[in-house]
Structure 1
């Protein structure tokens, strides 16, 4: 009987994929959820029976779904985050969970830098004004000699630091477990969180949330430099959106750019409609290079587990 693999990431269900085709050549049957959409719990419940492996995206995975996946041996995330997977329940069900670390770092880092420069130069604001027939100009800032705060200095944060320094910026970085040996060439310094908030012209987030508590709340915003920009390509839960909206309305926050949302697609809230907000459709890792790289690693991670399981069964 042909073993089945479930594929749910939107980037992989939207169009044919060379890396996935290799799985079919190896004899696996691929089961895909609705093309280009985040699958609902009901769709997952209908899809998981009989699958031995699952290449998973950012869709929430419930205990109920795992209980319905009686043959499942491995969930391989095509990304680094695992907050959508009930890890304790997976462990009880003896389902191994793997993730990809750093495979999309360049893509996300380039988007973060793009959003920083867009916000500093008011590109989106000017674009929208022109389309309305207005000749609206806001004085911008160049990134050279500015201070960029990087909160979370794993693979993505390190890549952001290198690019920012290459563009002539200074980088101040905070990480709860800093790699003290890390020192990108140029103006890079480790600082505590309050110092990063106070010194930065733009702050970019590259860390997971802790206990669903907002890292950037009214307290943190009050400690930021007047007119600073805030960039979030990590997790929506890192930011208190009401506090950000208040800071934008008061003019203390110069701009907010986000690629992540609680719900996708999001509702058009007052925050997202704000003229100083830039919003992108979770495109950080949605590049040809990142999709291919992460998919290859996710497939290799999954196949490693399936081969181990097969060997233990036959031995």
Structure 2
């Protein structure tokens, strides 16, 4: 039986008791912090056979501290925080859970669009102060909406927007124009979106900055920007200035740079509170998404431990390195 380390905040918190299921099957489940602080995880990593990993970093140093580890089962789709090359070199499988939270994040993106367009959070704060003055907003169906990143979540957003009557445009470097059209959007590049869109929603992978001072300089009308993807897609200092000078009318996001570490963001400034709406990584936090991510991560981990191909592999580990790790276990 295996020792399984779980560091995702919401693992097993849905309608399925995944921890109980694993324990009843004879496995030991250890919990660890979601930020993956190495010192806090050393003891668990030393005995872990599988790691159901949250959004924190999984570095070569983490892997070196885990001599028995056979699989890192990411709880979610993104693997940019995982040193996949280091895992591959050590014979460790990396898996993810594609599609498990797509509907939840697409729902949340549309919710943030409406919250930003209609000043929902600001209006709530006003009423609680006894201030019933109306703030005029915009209708989603009257806008051209740009979707940056047209994978599962981006296409899910497009489907939802169809009911509002918005003109929908999209860009994705991995797709042809015809594939974009098949997903329900007109192809339009990011620079043109700055000129034509009233609202842009980000669903691209991290590791790049798309909204920076140069791009914001090309915005032709007050823009609403939504980010339910990765914080590093946005230059927050440049965006704060664009909010102040009116090029960006509102920003709504489920993430900020350094948010889990408590780092202050320029977007949290008091003078921007009426134009910035933030949620604490709620995009994937539905019962259905939590169950989906958890069950897929468990299936990936158990398959890898049983020596069979997992449903959702990300890498192809070095078989010689894997054999060496197994010899070390048996020594």
Q: CA deviation at 1:101?
A: 1.0
Aligned partners of 1:100 and 1:294 also within 8 Å: yes
Aligned partners of 2:180 and 2:187 also within 8 Å: no
Match of 1:238 among 233, 240, 250: 233
Q: TM-score, normalised by structure 1?
A: 0.91
Say whether 1:299 aligns with 2:298. yes
Cα distance in 1, alignment partners of residues 62 and 236 from structure 2: 31
Match of 1:42 in 2: 39
Cα distance in 2, alignment partners of residues 296 and 183 from structure 1: 33
Cα distance in 1, alignment partners of residues 159 and 218 from structure 2: 26
Cα distance in 1, alignment partners of residues 238 and 97 from structure 2: 33
Cα distance in 2, alignment partners of residues 197 and 101 from structure 1: 30
Unaligned 5+ residue runs, structure 1? Answer: none
Q: CA deviation at 1:268?
A: 4.5
Match of 2:28 in 1: 29
Cα distance in 1, alignment partners of residues 183 and 44 from structure 2: 49
Q: CA deviation at 1:182?
A: 4.8
Q: What are the equivalent positions in structure 2 for 1:51-66 lying under 5 Å apart?
A: 51-66=48-63
Residues 7 and 49 of structure 1, relative CA distance in 2, 3 Å threshold: same
Aligned partners of 1:13 and 1:32 also within 8 Å: no
Match of 2:174 in 1: 177
The RMSD of aligned alpha carbons is 2.1
Secondary structure in 1 matching 2:259:
coil
Aligned partners of 1:87 and 1:97 also within 8 Å: yes
Secondary structure in 2 matching 1:304:
helix
Match of 1:271 among 267, 274, 294: 267
After superposition, give the CA deviation of every residue in 1:248-275 in whole Å (9 maximum; x if it has no partner). Answer: 0101100111111232343444412322
Runs of 4+ in 1 over 6 A off after TM superposition: 13-16
Q: What are the equivalent positions in structure 2 for 1:42-121 lying under 5 Å apart?
A: 42-121=39-118
Cα distance in 2, alignment partners of residues 74 and 154 from structure 1: 26
Q: TM-score, normalised by structure 2?
A: 0.86
Say whether 1:202 aligns with 2:189. no
Residues 268 and 134 of structure 1, relative CA distance in 2, 3 Å threshold: farther
Match of 1:308 in 2: 307
Say whether 1:163 aligns with 2:171. no
Match of 1:126 in 2: 123
Residues 303 and 225 of structure 1, relative CA distance in 2, 3 Å threshold: farther
Aligned partners of 1:41 and 1:62 also within 8 Å: no
Unaligned 5+ residue runs, structure 2? Answer: 310-322, 327-331
After superposition, give the CA deviation of every residue in 1:12-56 in whole Å (9 maximum; x if it has no partner). Answer: 27789513322222211101125xx53422112222111111110
Match of 1:18 in 2: 17
Cα distance in 2, alignment partners of residues 309 and 101 from structure 1: 19
Secondary structure in 2 matching 1:85:
coil
Say whether 1:192 aligns with 2:189. yes
Residues 17 and 39 of structure 1, relative CA distance in 2, 3 Å threshold: farther
Which structure's relative contact order is higher, taking Cα pairs within 8 Å and 6+ residues apart? 2
Secondary structure in 2 matching 1:118:
helix
Secondary structure in 1 matching 2:29:
strand
Moved more, 75-84 or 218-227: 218-227
Say whether 1:219 aligns with 2:214. yes
